[in-house]
Amino acid sequence: MSGNVRRVVSVIVYNESSTLSRITDLFSARGYNIVSLTVAPIPESKYSRLTIVTSGSSRVIEQIIKQLHKLIPVLKVYEHEDLVEKEMTLIKFPITENISDIDTLCQAYNGKIVNAGPDMVIAMVADEPKRIDHFLEAIKRFHPKEIVRSGAVALER
């Protein structure tokens, strides 16, 4: 049996208040792992799209997809092989840090400073989740006060 792999699964679901809990309940009831989960309505439709980053053996991934399919309000499940994946993150820095260095770093990761206040600045970057990991490592020396990650969204190429 193969080891754990990271997988991005997109789920198209009927828009209902209970749908999200059906999906998260499924993951917890069957002991599947959720690394991240994003959800938003698909414009001009009765459906929403969830992007779930999960991990498991290939058998577990196969089961996750089949079990998701079994849920009544689930229209489609895609397991992405060849995809464009992005994640956004917001970071708050004290104003006392070197702002221009921060800005340069952000630009290298598809981002910029998006807001400034009397004692802080907020930066935004959007990039592949792995690169976001690197970015967050790199900015440690600027003493970030708060970090929020959006979770991944993905589209098949």
Where do contacts with other proteins occur on this chain (CB under 8 A)? Answer: 13-14, 18, 21-22, 25, 29, 59, 62-63, 66-67, 69-70, 72-75
CA distances 21 to 18, 31, 41, 74, 94, Å, are 6, 15, 16, 12, 37
CA distances 141 to 30, 48, 61, Å, are 40, 39, 38
- Which tokens sit at 12? 């198209």
Instruction: State the nearest-atom distance from the C-beta of 110 to other proteins, in Å.
Output: 35
Strands (E) across 60-133 are located at 74-79, 83-94, 111-116, 120-127
Instruction: State the nearest-atom distance from the C-beta of 75 to other proteins, in Å.
Output: 5
Instruction: State the nearest-atom distance from the C-beta of 132 to other proteins, in Å.
Output: 33
Instruction: State the nearest-atom distance from the C-beta of 105 to other proteins, in Å.
Output: 44
- Which tokens sit at 33? 């792992």
Quick one: 71 or 124, whose CB is closer to other proteins?
A: 71
Inter-residue contact 115 to 122 (CB < 8 Å) = yes
Quick one: 50 or 139, whose CB is closer to other proteins?
A: 50
Quick one: 24 or 38, whose CB is closer to other proteins?
A: 24
Tell me which amino acid residue 1 is: M
Quick one: 19 or 89, whose CB is closer to other proteins?
A: 19
